[in-house]
Amino acid sequence: MLSRSSKLFVSFLCSHISGSYEDCCLKYVKTVKPAIKRRVTQYRLQELDGGCNIPAVVFTLKYGRVMCADPKQPWVKSLVHNLDRKMVIDAALKAFEAGLSD
């Protein structure tokens, strides 16, 4: 009979062999309060590949917390659009400031 630590090791080993160690969203948040939306700093898209079985937008909040959202939801599309727009504005501002310092 295997000891508890041996069972944990075998479980760990099997999970790594099967590829379940990937950082994938397994479900979506349903709704998000406006205060939480304001804390989003970036996002990434999760595609259907490897061990990830649902498409998702993975939002990163301040302090590193993440949440997974359905890319088809209107509020998700709006938040992604706003983040993209903010990134463009921030990049343009940096380029402008760099031009002033030359």
Write out the DSSP string of 13-56: HHHHHHTTTS----S--S---HHHHTTEEEEEEEPS-TT--S-E
Distances (CA, A) of 81 to 15, 29, 35, 48, 78: 36, 19, 18, 22, 5
- Which domains are delineated in the chain? 23-101 (2.40.50.40)
- Please give the Cα distance from 13 to 17 (Å, whole number): 6
* pLDDT at site 101: 76
**What is the model's pTM?**
0.71
Q: What is the pLDDT of residues 31-77, one digit of tens each?
A: 899 999 999 999 999 998 878 999 999 999 999 999 999 999 999 99
When the pLDDT of each residue in the chain is averaged and rounded to a whole number, the result is 83
**Residue 66 DSSP SS3:** strand
Q: What is the mean pLDDT of residues 19-42?
A: 86
pLDDT at 22 over 80: no
